[in-house]
Amino acid sequence: MSILVIAEHDNASLKSSTLNTVAAASALDGEVHILVAGSGCAAAATEAAAASGVAKVIVADNAAYANQLAENIAGLAVDVAADYDYVLAGATGNGKNFMPRIAALLDVQMISEIISVESADTFKRPIYAGNVIATVQSTDAKKVITVRTTAFDPVAATGGSAEQVAIDTASDAGVSSFVGEELAVSDRPELTAAGIVVSGGRGMQNGENFKLIEAVADKLNAAMGASRAAVDAGFVPNDMQVGQTGKIVAPELYIAVGISGAIQHLAGMKDSKVIVAINKDEDAPIFQVADYGLVADLFDVLPELEAQL
């Protein structure tokens, strides 16, 4: 048995979600190999080779893979997958984009966002926005799976010494091209990988007031998040949204400020280890999942909290 993990990276470095996916792969029985497909991705490949529990790193370095275009990655991955029993990737923006394409080309019914490995062919995954957990079994000979990365503790980033094998294939499907990207530039930890997340909701009233959240986040070296209500109201950009339709996070500490706690938000953060809710409405549903609740006006609390940290 052998397992192929498709790495999440930006060419310059490996994203930590890859380590969570390797952890899920390690719960299966077999040798774990990582495919790093990119352009000028040697640094990411070296990081992948150092990850604990990885036997081999396959490096496909070609301009066609520079921007992780699904059409090109899928063409490559289908060829590489021929030798494997499992193909895994994190359920990240990229993984969600190219994995179903790979599965269809392999004629496999993919299994999305597993949260546990029950056996070689049986997995648990959330459905209905996380209101139900399904146990599913696959009879496909080859299994194509995305992993909810927050459900698996990452393997160590160092200590491994996998061999690196370069493959020389250029798979350009010729139907898509990269035009550009606008990525938020920030010194903060990435939302989905941060140990502490401070999120604001509709209670923040406007985008300017998110400076209060920022000040607390600075003190804690935390990532900043938001509820869908805050995003829809235009307070903050889309990529800050935590929830079923946004990012799924599970940090050590999640601080929800002025967030009522709609089901769709809870689905994105309820696996956090410790949850703090700050809201002036004592009946807000967020308090039902919070370990520590503070019923107070956030405009009083945030400056005080910043001062005490």
Partner 1 sequence: MKVLVAIKRVVDYNVKVRPKADGSDVDLNNVKMSLNPFCEIAVEEAVRLKEAGKVTEIIAVSVGAKVVQEQLRTALALGADRAIMIETDNNVQPLGVAKLLNAVVAKESPDLVILGKQSIDGDNNQTGQMLAALSGMGQGTFASNVELGDGSVEVTREVDGGLQTVSLKLPAVVTTDLRLNEPRYASLPNIMKAKKKPLDIVTPEDLGVEIAASVTTLSVEPPAERKAGIKVASVEELVDKLRNEAKVIS
Q: What part of residues 1-60 is at the interface with partner 1 (CB under 8 A)? A: none
CA atoms within 13 A on the CB side of 297: 3
Q: What part of residues 65-84 is at the interface with partner 1 (CB under 8 A)? A: 67, 69-71, 74
Among residues 43, 55, 104, 120, the one that binds partner 1 under rule CB under 8 A: 104
Q: What part of residues 199-258 is at the interface with partner 1 (CB under 8 A)? A: 220, 237-239, 245, 247, 252-253
Q: 66 CB contacts (<8 Å, ≥6 apart)?
A: 11, 38, 39, 40, 178
Least distance CB 208 / partner 1 (angstroms): 21
Least distance CB 66 / partner 1 (angstroms): 12
Quickly tell me which residue has 């945030």 as its tokens.
302
Q: What part of residues 136-155 is at the interface with partner 1 (CB under 8 A)? A: 136-140
Among residues 181, 187, 208, 283, the one that binds partner 1 under rule CB under 8 A: 181
Least distance CB 112 / partner 1 (angstroms): 5
Asked whether position 308 contacts partner 1 by CB under 8 A, the answer is yes
Among residues 153, 179, 187, 208, the one that binds partner 1 under rule CB under 8 A: 179
User: Phi/psi class of residue 92: alpha, beta or left (left: φ > 0; alpha: ψ in -120 to 50)?
Assistant: beta
Alpha carbon distance 124, 136 (integer Å): 6
Radius of gyration of the chain (CA): 20
Q: 174 CB contacts (<8 Å, ≥6 apart)?
A: none
- 3-state class (DSSP) for residue 229: helix
Token output for 166: 């370069």
Number of residues forming the site for partner 1 (CB under 8 A): 85
Q: Quick count: other Cβ atoms within 10 Å of Cβ 289?
A: 16
Among residues 120, 215, 263, 280, the one that binds partner 1 under rule CB under 8 A: 263
In this complex, which beta carbon is closest to partner 1, that of residue 158 or of residue 177?
Answer: 177
Binding window for partner 1 (CB under 8 A); candidates: 50-58, 101-109, 161-169, 205-213:
101-109
